Structure 1
Amino acid sequence: MVSSSHEALHRIFQQEPGLFARAARHLGVAFPPPLSASELSTDLTETRPLERRVDTLLRMETEDGSFVLAVESQSAPSVDKPASWAYYLSHVYAKYGIPPVLLVVCPDRKTAAWAAQQFDIGPRQWPSLTLRPLVLGPNDVPVIDSPDEAARDIPLTILSAALHRCGPEADAILNALAKALKSLSADDEITAGTFIELTEQGLGTSRAADLWRHLMAVDLSFFQSQTAQKLREEGRAEGQANALLLLLHHRGVEVTEGDRERIESCDDLDVLDLWLTRAIAATSMTEVFAPAGETSGTAD
């Protein structure tokens, strides 16, 4: 199952597409800031049964032209990933006709070093394809421990906290981030709530996550507001929807695109819990979606 920290390392680029250009400067690569950015479908599935999904896919419009940014959150080296990444880039290029860029975000130095290598695909004598990911790891994103600096770029500070969560710098980063969020105006409450949730997800199960929850409880009164509570409800609904889709996939239940959209758009936790319970034994989506009060038709 995909972890919350995995999600945060690519979702932060959905929340703030301009973060890519700012973060890439630390890799020595100058991308112009986007004039606009729009999310594309992350479903790269072909007509074959094999399903492939990139973590985040964004079309970036800049003064130098357009490119498609594929963001992958990678927690450990994997011998299968280079082939998948090459597929993502070639498929995106064939589908949209726009140059693709692969950004791999890694929470530890070992994985970052592995992902940063050049992957040659093809015979030793003549590789037909060379894969060159851009990689952001703990060594590539600065430690932002000043409240003033954190306030200037909160998304980059969240990324800094996520990538340095296991290091001695984590406490200082989180304290700076909490102060920066506290300085936001009341009109920014929804945005602050999103940043709070992303930070907590990015910290995963590290010790720093406990400090963050303490800081939120003590320092930020709006963390208890109705807006923040609503955001947490939406996060739980999204988690239930993802769990339901994963269960259906592993059980081999056929899920149409319409079924997927119905599940992902549902924000009623009681309904999602009912569907998840039914999916444990259901053999079809008709059984899962049966009206409330009806049995799924499956045997006990």
Structure 2
Amino acid sequence: MAIPELPCWRPGPETVTLLSPGELHLDIVLVGSTTDQPEFAIIHEVQNSCRAPDLERIALSWPAYVTHVRQRLGCPVVLLAFCPDESTARRVAVPVETGHPDFVFRPRTYWPGMLPAITTVAEADRWPELALLSAPGHLDDAERRNVLAMALEAMQHLEPDLRVHYHDYISKCVPARYRKEWEELVAMAIENYHWESDFAHEHQAIGRAEGIAEGREEARAALAGSVLRILERRGLAIGEAARARVTDCSNLDELAHWLDLALVVDSAEQLFNLNTRPQHET
């Protein structure tokens, strides 16, 4: 062993206590077992950055995650990290030298491109999250259009809040040269009422159990709030006039239509310019 030549050596602690933080906060731990005894554990982390401070934190914390979970469960443990792209994944996967001979911690990483491309409705319906997470890794493939279409198909199986989240996720990942193609697919989904049926009918159903009059007002408020929230989540500025027009609208059909358009418009004002639906009360 190579021992560093240091000017001072002194006794250290014989009892090691976690100091700061007092608890280790892991993203997800999955424990597999055949009986009550754990047989294998997977620590799953999400790492979006590979800056120097992040790599320093990883070098100190991730080996501790593995050793502490192993001590607690008494079974083999592996740490798996999801990264947004291959470059980040490779930086994060750099081996960590702990100082002990042959004790080198090597994070296992993956990125969307390592996941299989989901290109069929059957696959998207069975594994919606996989279709959404893998899509950004296959946007330069020949199957790009099918991958994006299946991402939209997968969104139909998610709750409204998650739909908005994943729409933002995919939209930010689509390169500028394919942005028009993505918007056309979203527009086609809207034309086929995929979004409207999920959003509008869900919110309209809120009030039916409590009475038509009260329920209609709740549905109206929910739809108006969802329109504004989607615009805000997409980073679009909402002027006072546009906000008032959405908030004061009492037409459920029109609000449902605006909710669809909020996913693709470039500005809040364009929301109304693209509206060609006949005006009628429901």
In the superposition, the TM-score normalised over structure 2's length comes to 0.49
Return the structure number with greater relative CO, CA threshold 8 A, min gap 6. Answer: 1
In the superposition, the TM-score normalised over structure 1's length comes to 0.46
